Structure 1
Amino acid sequence: MSAFFPALTAGADPGRTAVRCGADTLTYEGLARAAGALADRIAGAERVAVWATSGAHTVVAVVAALLAGVPAVPLNPRTGERELAHVLGDSTPSAVLAGPADALPAGLDGVPRIDVDLAPAGAGPVRTVPDAVRTGPGPVLLPAEPDDPEVPALVVYTSGTTGPPKGVVLSRRAVAASLDALAGAWSWTADDVLVHALPLFHVHGLVLGVLGPLRRGGELRHLGAFSVEGVTRELGAGGGTMLFGVPTMYHRLADALAGDPALAGALAGARLLVSGSAALPVHDHERITAATGRTVVERYGMTETLMNTSVLPDSGPRPGTVGVPLAGVGLRLVDDDGSVLGAYDGETVGEVQVRGPNLFSGYLGRPEATAAAFDGDWFRTGDMAVRDPDGAVRLVGRRATDLIKSGGYKIGAGEIENALLDHPGVREAAVTGEPDPDLGERIVAWVVPVDPGSPPTDAELAAHVAESLAPHKRPRVVRHLDALPRNDMGKILKKALPGAG
């Protein structure tokens, strides 16, 4: 039996659609054929890179690597020359798996290329065998997967915001534990049809968005590129039951809802709407719920930990929180001096530390960095949060960029950003701190106004925040921009703000 993908084995419905990416559709039998044939070709490799475009070839490549027990290193097709060279030199893949039509950059010239075939030659039933390697045409033979849950499944590189990207080694144990915990929290089953347009080089789009539905035996429909029309089509007439997205996607959906009854109906008909990778502003939560009757579920995770918490779908609207710890995940808040904070008052800020089977195995080839990331068996996330009285986690920002110490207070940038976004004249907002001789740090708001010709005044925004939160949390400086810098997942790049360090 296939340990990680039970639906690929004999006994599952071979004719059921597993993946639809644009013009490419694979049934579970077709996926087993394509991935099984590729697994034979890469068996025994130390690691393989995957040119992770948003299509079926990437899905087959990663499934094949898992079947073969070979760690896959997803490569962002938009990665620059310097970063690509670092990732390749650090991970030393034996080959790069790519679609036949993919044009690879010169930086990959020294890595053997294996083209992913979605319809390999051969006929006969799908079955599993004990040996991993088979040659020639004939039946599809799925290799026996590794018995050891600690075998690496993926090596996913961090964004590199604090230095060169580090390779996060994710074991089969971590991936399975995180997906199974989400399945329990979300009642995720083989009957679900997941719709998304997330990139497939990141844990959100790849682990949750591809491996998640395939582990459950459900269906994945990838839009290729996000569009309101695509979401409407696949959640409406297409019968999609779940939607995964990031805040920028949900913001565009919220903007479109007022004049689009078909979109409203499609979202209302979905069983589960999930947002992640960054905080979804409260006003977008409210607009979507008002138009559809559906609440957007937020969850919290990161590359090193996969998923830590989630709002439970039946818990009612919880804008501003990322829910409670998932099954098997331990979570605590820690003060600057290392003491554990026990307050569930919605105000006491501490760093999030987590432990559980969802944690990564370490940074590839960096034992010192791995050791520094842990406090005993607790992983230091670098995220700052408060706990509500019911135990729900409310993130307030990153320690490195979002924790502002002003006038003796520890202030999270995230709550100020949400307050600013509640102002009708603000389209986008980011908050940072900068040195202040009196306060230690002063709060700086970076604002994209709805009407650039008539933006809200500094005093108006300061008063709005002071009234919504507290006077000491008001911005002392307001700077206007045409747009905020963001990465591929929609996260604001605060270090790229003009003059930011």
Structure 2
Amino acid sequence: MRPHDMGTLFDEAAASGAPTVVHLDRPFDIAPHDGTRWTLPELADLVRATAARLADAGVRPGDRVAVVKDNHWDYDLLGCAVARLGAVPALLSARLDTADLLTLLDRLQPAALVTTSALLARCRDGAAPAAAPVLVTLDSAAPGALHLAALDPARPCLPVRRSADEPLAIHHTSGTTGLPKLVTHSTRTLVDELARFEAVRYPGIGIRPDDVLLNASAYAHGRTFCWTAVVLSVPPAEMVLLSGDDPDTADPLLRTHPPTVVEATPATYVRLRPLTTRLDNPFRRVRLYISTYDAVHPPALRAYLTASRHRRPLWMQGWGQTETGPLTFRFHTRRSALAADAESTARRLGRPVPGRTRLRAVDPDTLRPVPRGRPGLLLVRTAALAQGYVGEDERWAAKHVGDWWSTGDMGVLHRDGSVSVLDREVDSVPGMSCLRTEDALEQRLPQALECVVLGLPDGDPLPVVVTADGRLDPDAWKQATYGLPRLRDPAVLTWDEVPRTGTGKVRRAALARRLTGTAPAGTGRWT
């Protein structure tokens, strides 16, 4: 089966007869009383019933429907239910700051908002209410809102077909450098160009019928909408879905259903890393790890690859953006992760996808190409490029450089065709890479959960070291910084003290403002 219509995706997966079983760490928010074990026919019934309920609430073809809720895979079920009605789902993370969320809702002007009573109350306590003609709550009734469970699940609701170039879904960017952007993808860009390319049982890296597939992601993000199309087209034996990243909560489920393929956000890999050292570690059967969204530092790669008892486990690291989908891939092995130069080569993110993606590095001031091996602003050409930013047409147009589109990342195109990403342009510091410095610090500070280096307009960069207890030995810091570029004295924080995006990325601009009162070092022109 090749994915082609998100509105009927679950119907077609159920009709395939695949015996896939889905295991959840908690019940769906759209089906709170229906347990944590699902089959594909049961999921198809749930999507149809949810679409009928939303139609009963008044959702019509062409409407924008905003979804804001707690993290869980039913974000994508809701997205497919909305798409089934011919409407356009806009999936927004509940981890957004209230002010940012209200701004995005104002740009969207949705016909309906699907949310929880608690989040609706949070929005109503903000500077302005979350405005939408129709409000639907998932958890309980709320004043002025319809309760999803009280709507008619049997309302006649035939799938509405749309052209490949009509808007299919709206997702927001991570927002590490400021207010997230709302990205519109069509069926052609998200399904035809991205999901279909991935929905193939490639040797070694494709999904197998006997796989146990674990996803621990940020389900409001565009990556999981595409992932859902892929995994239902090449269904595995089992799927395990984590909605949180607490290792003690995840451990029993993962030991009961030890995965063979794992996809997670880099932040979740960090949080679940303690499980790799347990005697009955749940990653013992993993043959393939997949990461996207953000940089993965060498200590995490090493921990997971050595935790697997598979003969040759692989780590597939993708670099891409919400606007473009994956641009490059690189594979790490147990041997490469343990190599002496792992720290210095970690930023090499592989080569562009052959025949699908082209990259160019240019001077960010003159926009002239720079020689191979020299840092520059990375531009891309891909047929998977999104349709634009909702409410920010000028910003979208400003990121085009002729037929090329600016990623906003500074990087190096090497002579062998591979690419290294150094920093976001808005975070860049002349003469150094903050990301590479972070790699070195994490390599040298085993007690660090995460290291972040913030480029500032004046003076040396500010390092932030995240530890379990918010403490760091001064002697350990002194040894860790030997031979590195000049840095300020570190700020030491706990995990929960760091502002994060819905995908767990550090919100660097917010963190810099909180600690120093200043903005990042770069121009921000290409953000």
> TM above 0.5, one fold?
yes
Shift of 1:413: 0.8
For the residues of structure 1 that align with 2:435 and 2:244, how far apart are their CA atoms?
A: 28
Shift of 1:15: 5.9
Shift of 1:375: 1.2
Aligned to 2:434: 413
Residue 410 (structure 2) aligned to one of 384, 387, 392: 384
Higher mean C-alpha deviation, range 373-382 or range 489-498: 489-498
Taking a change above 3 Å as real, the CA distance of residues 104 and 161 of structure 1, as seen in their structure-2 partners, is same
Amino acid at match of 1:214: L
Partner of 1:64, secondary structure, is: helix
Residue 34 of structure 1 pairs with residue 46 of structure 2: yes
Give the alignment's TM-score, normalised by structure 2: 0.76
- Note the alpha carbon deviations across 1:452-488, whole angstroms, 9 max, x for none: 36323665344243xxxxxxxx224332313362414
Shift of 1:432: 2.8
Partner of 1:188, secondary structure, is: coil
Residue 370 of structure 1 pairs with residue 370 of structure 2: no
Amino acid at match of 1:276: T
Residue 76 (structure 2) aligned to one of 59, 63, 73: 59
Taking a change above 3 Å as real, the CA distance of residues 194 and 111 of structure 1, as seen in their structure-2 partners, is farther
Taking a change above 3 Å as real, the CA distance of residues 364 and 189 of structure 1, as seen in their structure-2 partners, is farther
CA contact (8 A) 2:112 2:132 kept: no
Shift of 1:306: 2.1
Partner of 1:311, secondary structure, is: strand
CA contact (8 A) 2:362 2:369 kept: yes
For the residues of structure 1 that align with 2:228 and 2:412, how far apart are their CA atoms?
A: 31
Residue 8 of structure 1 pairs with residue 36 of structure 2: no
Aligned to 2:134: 112
CA contact (8 A) 1:175 1:358 kept: yes
Amino acid at match of 2:63: E
Partner of 2:474, secondary structure, is: coil
Aligned to 1:491: 505
Shift of 1:58: 2.8
Amino acid at match of 2:490: R
Amino acid at match of 2:406: R
Aligned to 1:309: 328
- Trace 1:131-210 onto structure 2 (pairs within 5 A): 135-136=155-156, 143-146=159-162, 148-160=163-175, 164-176=179-191, 177-184=193-200, 186-188=205-207, 191-204=210-223, 206-210=224-228
For the residues of structure 1 that align with 2:422 and 2:389, how far apart are their CA atoms?
A: 26
Shift of 1:198: 2.2
- Stretches of structure 1 that go unaligned for 5 or more consecutive residues are 123-134, 466-473
Aligned to 1:130: none
For the residues of structure 1 that align with 2:371 and 2:402, how far apart are their CA atoms?
A: 19
Residue 17 of structure 1 pairs with residue 29 of structure 2: no
Taking a change above 3 Å as real, the CA distance of residues 103 and 340 of structure 1, as seen in their structure-2 partners, is closer
Taking a change above 3 Å as real, the CA distance of residues 435 and 456 of structure 1, as seen in their structure-2 partners, is farther
The CA RMSD measured in Å over matched residues stands at 3.4
For the residues of structure 1 that align with 2:72 and 2:475, how far apart are their CA atoms?
A: 43
Aligned to 2:300: 284
Partner of 2:267, secondary structure, is: helix
- Trace 1:256-271 onto structure 2 (pairs within 5 A): 256-258=275-277, 260-263=278-281, 266-271=282-287
Partner of 2:475, secondary structure, is: coil
- Note the alpha carbon deviations across 1:285-327, whole angstroms, 9 max, x for none: 2233233353433211222112222224789746513322235
- Note the alpha carbon deviations across 1:73-92, whole angstroms, 9 max, x for none: 11322334322322222111
CA contact (8 A) 2:320 2:326 kept: yes
CA contact (8 A) 1:447 1:478 kept: no
CA contact (8 A) 2:259 2:283 kept: no
Partner of 2:259, secondary structure, is: coil
Aligned to 1:273: 289
Residue 423 of structure 1 pairs with residue 444 of structure 2: yes
CA contact (8 A) 1:69 1:151 kept: no
Partner of 1:286, secondary structure, is: helix
Shift of 1:380: 0.6
Partner of 2:306, secondary structure, is: helix
Of the two structures, which has the highest relative contact order with CA contacts closer than 8 Å and spacing of 6 or more? 2
CA contact (8 A) 2:111 2:132 kept: no
CA contact (8 A) 2:207 2:235 kept: no
Partner of 1:414, secondary structure, is: helix
Residue 478 (structure 1) aligned to one of 482, 485, 489: 489
Shift of 1:183: 4.0
Taking a change above 3 Å as real, the CA distance of residues 389 and 288 of structure 1, as seen in their structure-2 partners, is farther
CA contact (8 A) 1:429 1:446 kept: yes
Higher mean C-alpha deviation, range 167-176 or range 482-491: 482-491
For the residues of structure 1 that align with 2:15 and 2:334, how far apart are their CA atoms?
A: 36
Residue 357 (structure 2) aligned to one of 315, 320, 329: 329
> How many residue pairs end up in the alignment?
459
Shift of 1:356: 1.2
- Trace 1:94-109 onto structure 2 (pairs within 5 A): 94-98=111-115, 104-105=120-121, 106=124, 107-108=129-130
Shift of 1:369: 1.2
Partner of 2:380, secondary structure, is: strand
Amino acid at match of 2:4: A
For the residues of structure 2 that align with 1:153 and 1:162, how far apart are their CA atoms?
A: 26
Aligned to 1:71: 88
Aligned to 2:370: 341
Shift of 1:69: 3.1
Partner of 1:262, secondary structure, is: coil
Residue 442 (structure 1) aligned to one of 428, 450, 460: 460
For the residues of structure 2 that align with 1:79 and 1:289, how far apart are their CA atoms?
A: 33
Aligned to 2:266: 247
Of all paired residues, the percent bearing the same amino acid is 22
For the residues of structure 1 that align with 2:102 and 2:266, how far apart are their CA atoms?
A: 31
Taking a change above 3 Å as real, the CA distance of residues 81 and 297 of structure 1, as seen in their structure-2 partners, is same
